[in-house]
A = this chain, B = another copy of it.
Amino acid sequence: MDTHQFLLALLLILLFARLFAEVATRLRIPAVLGELLAGVILGPSLFGWIEPVEALRLLAEIGIILLLFEVGLDVDVQKLARAGWRSAIVAIAGFVLPFVFGYGLTRHVFALGTLESLFVGGALTATSIGITVRVMRDIHVQNTREGQIVLGAAVLDDIFGVILLALLYEFATAGVVSLNNASKVGAFILVFFLIAPIAAKFMALVIGRLDHSTELPGLIPTAMVSLVLLFAWLAKEVGAPEMLGGFAAGLALSRRFFLPFGLSLRTDENLARRIEHQMEPIIRLFTPIFFVTVGLSLNLHAVDWHSSTIWLLTGGLLIVAVLGKLLGGLIVLSLPLASRTAVGIAMIPRGEVGLVFAELGRTSGMLSDETYAAILLVVAFTTLLSPLILKGFYARFSDAIHARSPHAHAHHGHDGDG
C-alpha cells in the first residue's frame, strides 16, 4: 500500500467512523457500534474498500493502548480497591465458566479435538475491556460502583486470558503444558502491575518539571505518548498484552491515584489537567481506528452459511458466552439483583483477546475454518448485542441499580469537548 492509498484508507476510516458513530448516537445506540459497523461496511464483508494492512493495524493498536491509558486516567483507585474482591469474583467466575462450558460443548457435543476445544474455550474467557469501557462511557456509567467492578473484572480476566493463551500456545507448539512457564509469566505480570504505576508516576513528575523549564513547545504530547508506549512495550516484555501497559500508565497519572506505603509522589493538579487536555485530541483521533479495524477483520463471506453445524456451534457458544458472564455477575450476592445483572451483561462483550485466541489457533493449525468462523461470530454477536441489552437494561432498571448506592453518579466531567 503506497502513501496515497494509505491516506485515503485512513480518511475513509475516520470519516465513516464519525458518520456512523454520529448516527448511532442520535439513534441512542452506543457510538462504538457505529464504528464497528463502519468497519464491516468498509471491509471485505461489504464494500471491500479497505484491507487491515500492517500500518492500519499498528495505528489501531496505538488506539487501543491510548484508550486504555485514558481508562486508567479515569479510574478511581479507591473505588476500585473497594470493589476489589467483587471484581475478583466476577473475573474468576466469568473466566472459569465460559472456559469449562465452552470446552465441554466443543469437545463432547461437537466432538472436536482436545486442543481445538481448549482454544474455543479460551477465546470465550476474556471480556473486551476496550468495548465494555466504551459502552459504559457512552451511557455514562463507567464511574459508578458497577462500572468499577466491571472494569476491575475485565482487567483481571484479560490477564487470566493472556496467561491461558501463553499456556495453550506452549501446549500447541511443544505438545506439553509447562505449568512452570505459565507461573513465570503470571509472576512477571504481577510484578509489573506493582512497579509500573510507581515508575510512571515518577516519570510524570519529571515531565512536569521539564514542562516548566523548556522553551520548545510540544513536550506533553510527545513525552506522554512516549511514556504510554514505553509501558505498553514493557507490558508485552513481561508477557501481558500491550494495552495493559497503557492502562498501568494511565492509572499512575490518575488524579485519584495514591501510592501505597504512604509514599507521596503526588501529581500536581495543574499538570494532570494539562495532560488530560492535550492528550484528549490525540486519544479521540486514534481510538476510532481501533474499532473500525475490528469491524474490518470480520469477513462475513468467509462463512459457509448453508452448513447447519456452523449455526448450532455458533448458537451453542453464544449461549455459553452470554450465560457464563451473566452467572459471573449474578454470583456477587452482596449486590442488589439489578446491579448483579448489569455487571453480568456488561461483561459479555468479547473482543481483542478472543480474536487473538482465534487467530493464534488458526495460524497454529488448531482451528478448522468452521470453528474459526464460529468464534468470530460469537465475538461479533457479543460485541454487537451486549451494548444494546445493557443500554436497554439501564434505561429500565437504573433506579433499582442506584437505589442502594447513593454516591454512585455518572461522571461527565471531561467527556465534553470544550
* A residues apposed to B, CB below 8 Å: 1, 3-4, 6-8, 10-11, 14-15, 17-18, 21-22, 25, 31, 54-55, 57-58, 61-62, 65, 210-211, 214-223, 225-226, 229-230, 232-233, 236, 242, 274, 277-282, 284-285, 288, 415-418
Contact = CB atoms under 8 A, between A and B. Distances in A.
A233 B57 contact: no
Nearest to A216: B25
Given A229-B7, A229-B11, A282-B282, A31 B216 contact: yes
Contact of A58 (B6, B221, B225, B288): B6
Nearest to A21: B216
A296 B284 CA distance: 29
B54 A417 contact: no
Given A7-B236, A217-B280, A218-B417, 6 more contacts: A7-B62, A11-B226, A17-B222, A18-B226, A218-B284, A221-B282
Contacts of A216: 21-22, 25, 31
Nearest to A17: B222
A57 B65 CA distance: 21
B7 A284 contact: no
A223 B281 contact: no
A216 B231 CA distance: 29
A18 B223 contact: yes
A1 B57 CA distance: 12
A315 B313 CA distance: 72
Contacts of A214: 22, 25, 417
A275 B226 CA distance: 24
Given A211-B417, A222-B18, A417-B211, A11 B217 contact: no
A288 B230 contact: no
Contacts of A3: 57-58, 61, 236, 242
Contacts of A57: 3
A61 B8 CA distance: 13
A409 B217 CA distance: 20
Contacts of A222: 14, 17-18, 284-285, 288
Contacts of A10: 62, 229
- Those 9 A-B pairs whose CB atoms lie nearest each other, nearest first: A218-B284, A221-B281, A11-B229, A55-B55, A278-B281, A217-B417, A221-B285, A14-B226, A25-B216
A337 to B, nearest CB: 31
A65 B22 CA distance: 27
Contacts of A58: 3, 6, 55
29 contacts: A3-B57, A3-B58, A4-B236, A4-B242, A7-B62, A7-B242, A10-B62, A11-B226, A11-B229, A11-B230, A17-B222, A18-B222, A18-B223, A22-B210, A22-B214, A25-B214, A25-B215, A54-B55, A55-B58, A211-B417, A218-B281, A218-B284, A218-B288, A219-B417, A222-B288, A274-B418, A278-B281, A282-B282, A282-B285
